[in-house]
Amino acid sequence: MIGLCRTLPYLVALPLAFATTAPCAAPAAGADEVTDLFKQGIETLQRGNDEEALKILRKVLALDPTHEAALEIWQATDHKVWMDLLAREGDFERVALNMMALTRSGRKARENDPDAIREILKGLMTDSIRERKQLQQQLAADHGEYAVPQLLYGLADQGNDERRITFMLTLQQLGGEAVQPLLEALNSDDAFLRQSIALVLRANGDKRANGTLAWLATTDPDPGVRDAANEALARMKGDTNALDRLLYEGNAYHVQDPSVLRPHQVSNVVWVWEDNKLTGVEVPPVLYNDELAKKAYYRALQVDPGSIQALAGIARSSATERAELNYWSSIGEDIGDWAERLVSDELTVRLAGSEALDTALGFALDTNDQVAASGLIQALAMAATTATPNLTRAISASGSGAIRGEAAVALAYIAVAQNQKASDAVIGALSESVARKVVRIAGIIDGDDARRNQLSEALRGRGLAVNAWPRGGRGLAALRSIPGIDVLLVADDLPDLTIHQVIRDVRRDARTKSAPILGISQDPEGLDELYGDRLAGTVSSVADLETIEAAMSDSLNPDRELANDLAARSAAALRMLALSGAGNLEISSSALVSALDGRPDAVTVPSLGALGYIGSSSDVDRVAALLTDDGQSDEVRLAAAESLRGIFGRGASLTGAIADGLFAIVTSDAPFEIRAATASALGRLNIDQDLRAKLMRAVRSGLHE
């Protein structure tokens, strides 16, 4: 196995698997170059040349190795080599994490193999310490968290201390891989099993167990379990305030903070304790972090059933998951049975109450979580009986027109329900949503503050909405909270991730896989040489704006439908306010007229409805043009006729050319509803009586032909 003999003398040397004469099966296509380079990087590191070794290992990633090639390296490398690379932190840690993440897809089929796991567990009871150690390392490398359910049987066995201790030591060998399933297994009714798990977590020392251990120490009915939990907390110097810690962890999981969830820790499954056993449920990756967040929040509720923060956290995560799932489904991604699984979450959001929902909205606004904020605002529209502080705050959200629009729709309905006037700010935000065309959105991930800020300002000057982050992990997490991306700029010297890792994660997400990615580097030619056409270009400063514009010339984020949906609901809200006289709608007139040009019927129809109450003579030409256009849908033409009826009722005038067109509709073969609505509109006009009589005779004549 690959060793680092100079810096890690207890590891063995390179095996035959990496020798050119090795009698083994040929590696997958492209694996030779990858494994040779990896071997070269390790040997260079052995010689103490860290800088050169890092360059080589980065080149391994730039070759974009297949999962199979990465898996071959993983299997040939002692598990402790990876652990020690991670312990180096900095750039070596990032490279190791990236390589380990690449192996996950290749390992998945082997990981969840109960028969193979069972055979390894049988062998663990050998008298040979060396063999046992090798089997434990194999279990960790090949099966990870999937081994935990079978190991639990040994932990619960009070009649076989030898096996119990061996299995506990094996769980320690699994390290962080075992944490999530172990935390879930603490829901068992078996106090002895809970106590054994607490002891394993004590030895493991993983801070992600802090909140749950504090929960055990606070709420568990068994004194032995409470003692074990307190001992574990003392050893890891953990927070003993269960409520505070669980709330912290829930919030951290929600935003994918690296303190609880680093990119390589995102799993294919979430663990549930049901029918007295541990079961892994496959989960879409976009839901994984919020599933863990909800577990923390629900435990916080057990500590304090009155915690508004816990209720708010559950509502925020649930709203986010529903929005994420709807989005994935709309773009054709497989969501399994998760639509049914999340039905209960919709009910919990509605049950949370307006105070908890508003608290959750405040957190979403603070963290620029647009996905969660939209869902929470829609929930508040149904739950709130008055304008809440954060709904009012959302009207002024400078970073997102979508959030302003959602808040305006909610506040409009609340105003009408309370028989109040909607503010000019609400009507202005509704008008903005109705008139808004989809704007381009840029993302920038760059640890260089000055360069990041300069690029942000320059792109904003080109009319783009810009989101920027100094760290790769935060950027990747935040991309899930942004409704679409047209271009992403990523620096090659991030403080936490490799550029390769960012590229792969962005391409793996169905929402962003087609977005152009540009590299930011002080050596753009070198970066281009490494990554080629996997980057849409490379830049070094604001002087390269034309390169960015060229890369996104054909790019448009996939959220036009969402923008149109908000525009339709905003137009409907304006119509409702106009009908009830609940605000000064004159300021929205131009926005409503602009929504008549090339917009979906779902936007045009309610906009025409609102104009029927507030439109004037200056709007007649545009509305009449829709009515006389037989290429429009019957729904739009009918809405236009009814809109004109309202406008004409307020004394609007009509030119001869438009009058002729409307007269022709009344006597045409258009559907009766359209002809009738047009006749009603014309009936409100103050027209010459001879002309009115002539028109009536023409209609009668047409009916009797």
Question: Is 142 a domain residue?
Answer: yes
Q: Are residues 519 and 646 in the same domain?
A: no
Q: Are residues 80 and 119 in the same domain?
A: no
Question: Is 279 a domain residue?
Answer: yes
Average pLDDT over residues 130-159: 89
Does the structure show a pLDDT above 80 at 422? yes
Question: Between vectors from CA 515 to CA 514 and to CA 519, what angle results, nearest 5°?
Answer: 125
Note the pLDDT of residue 222.
96
Question: Is 521 a domain residue?
Answer: yes
Q: Which of 414, 405, 344, 355 is nearest to 381 (CA)?
A: 414
- 492-535 pLDDT per residue, tens: 989 888 898 888 888 877 678 778 999 999 988 888 888 888 89
Indicate the DSSP class of residue 258.
T
Note the pLDDT of residue 254.
93
Note the pLDDT of residue 50.
81
Q: Are residues 121 and 230 in the same domain?
A: yes
Question: Is 420 a domain residue?
Answer: no
Domain membership of residue 270 as a residue range: 114-305
Note the pLDDT of residue 688.
65
Question: Is 276 a domain residue?
Answer: yes
Does the structure show a pLDDT above 70 at 433? yes
CB atoms within 10 A of CB 631: 7
Q: 644: domain CATH number?
A: 1.25.10
Q: 492: domain CATH number?
A: 3.40.50.2300
Note the pLDDT of residue 703.
47
Structure tokens at 102: 């690449």
Please name the residue ranges forming H helices in 237-386: 242-254, 285-303, 308-330, 338-341, 343-351, 354-366, 370-383
**Chain mean pLDDT for the chain:** 83
Domain endpoint, select from 305, 335, 370: 305
Beta bridge partners of 271: 280
Range picked from 51-65, 188-202, 339-353, 673-687 for highest mean pLDDT = 188-202
Note the pLDDT of residue 24.
34
- 618-653 pLDDT per residue, tens: 899 999 999 998 888 999 999 999 999 999 888 777
Percent of the chain with pLDDT over 70: 86
Question: Is 595 a domain residue?
Answer: no
Question: Is 569 a domain residue?
Answer: no
User: For the chain, how long is the longest CA-to-CA vector?
Assistant: 113
Residues 6+ apart with CB under 8 A from 400: 368, 370, 373
Do 573 and 409 touch, CB atoms closer than 8 A? yes
Distance CA 135, CA 153 (A): 18
Question: Between vectors from CA 39 to CA 33 and to CA 43, what angle results, nearest 5°?
Answer: 145
Q: Are residues 135 and 279 in the same domain?
A: yes
Residues 6+ apart with CB under 8 A from 454: 541, 542
Q: Are residues 107 and 124 in the same domain?
A: no
Note the pLDDT of residue 20.
29
Question: Is 571 a domain residue?
Answer: no
Domain endpoint, select from 532, 551, 570: 551
Q: Are residues 175 and 232 in the same domain?
A: yes
Q: Are residues 230 and 328 in the same domain?
A: no
Q: Which residue has the higher pLDDT, 374 or 28?
A: 374
Domain endpoint, select from 526, 551, 576: 551
Q: Are residues 320 and 264 in the same domain?
A: no
Q: Are residues 386 and 522 in the same domain?
A: no
Query: What is the length of the chain?
Result: 705
Percent of the chain with pLDDT over 90: 39
Do 371 and 479 touch, CB atoms closer than 8 A? no
Does the structure show a pLDDT above 60 at 21? no
CB atoms within 10 A of CB 466: 21
Confidence band for 691, pLDDT divided at 50, 70 and 90? low
Distance CA 564, CA 102 (A): 38
- 556-574 pLDDT per residue, tens: 455 567 778 888 999 999 9
Q: Provide the domain count of the chain.
A: 5
Note the pLDDT of residue 388.
93
Q: For 426, left (φ over 0), alpha (ψ -120 to 50), or beta?
A: alpha
Which residue type sits at 174?
L
Do 63 and 34 touch, CB atoms closer than 8 A? yes
